Amino acid sequence: MNLKAYASTFVYKISYLQKSFGKKPFKLLDIGAGNHSASKIKNVFPQCEYHGVDLEKEYNNNSEDFSLMKAFYEMDLTKLDMSSIPDNYFDAILMAHIIEHLHNGDEVIKNLLPKLKSGGYLYIEYPGVKSTKLPSMHGSLNFNDDPTHVRLYSVKELKTLFENNKCKVLRGGTKHNIWFILAMPFRILSFLVRGKKLQGNIFWDLLGFAEYLYVKKN
């Protein structure tokens, strides 16, 4: 995931980790570990034991990023073979803007939950059904702007999935990050001053592009 484009997502998921762990050490499994995610997360949580998962190892990562990882698992999640990832080990799992690229994202989630300790947390975010009704825009404002999006999911569907797999949904719904909404005029001005094309992600929080759930495993 492009963390520059999805800055609001990064702030949102980090805020939930801060609420749950503060400065305490914890073990994190980050699903979608490209774009220097390890460096960014370790900068906020230096005591975090970071494990990354991605389809390709070299997706905008460098030697410094890998030096900060306890482990990296290069795998195609749709094959549902996650035996290389330890069970009952992680305090938190992050899965932001991943499942919309997976035709069997529900089964992927089911196979990831055994990796989470009892009492552990999972944050998931994805384009909601509302995104299919938004206008098309550079940088994705409509679900179909990204040709790699293959399936829609909903809070209702995922809430049922989590509850049927011994998890409690703590928060969930459409994501509206107030700080990014307030920052919109400045972000728009910044793009215009630099002569760059406006990107759809600028408007995600205002228009409700994404949905999220934050859950705790029983």
Tell me, yes or no, whether 1 lies in a domain. Answer: no
Q: Is the backbone of residue 120 left (phi > 0), alpha (psi -120 to 50) or beta?
A: beta
In CATH, what number is assigned to the domain containing residue 120? 3.40.50.150
Domain that holds residue 96: 7-217
E strand spans, 25-115 = 27-31, 49-54, 69-74, 90-96
Tell me, yes or no, whether 53 lies in a domain. Answer: yes
Tell me, yes or no, whether 101 lies in a domain. Answer: yes
pLDDT one-digit tens code per residue, 135-162: 999 989 999 999 999 999 999 999 999 9
pLDDT one-digit tens code per residue, 169-184: 999 999 999 989 999 9
Tell me, yes or no, whether 18 lies in a domain. Answer: yes
**What predicted TM-score, i.e. pTM, was given to this entire model?**
0.93
Tell me, yes or no, whether 135 lies in a domain. Answer: yes
Number of compact structural domains in the chain: 1
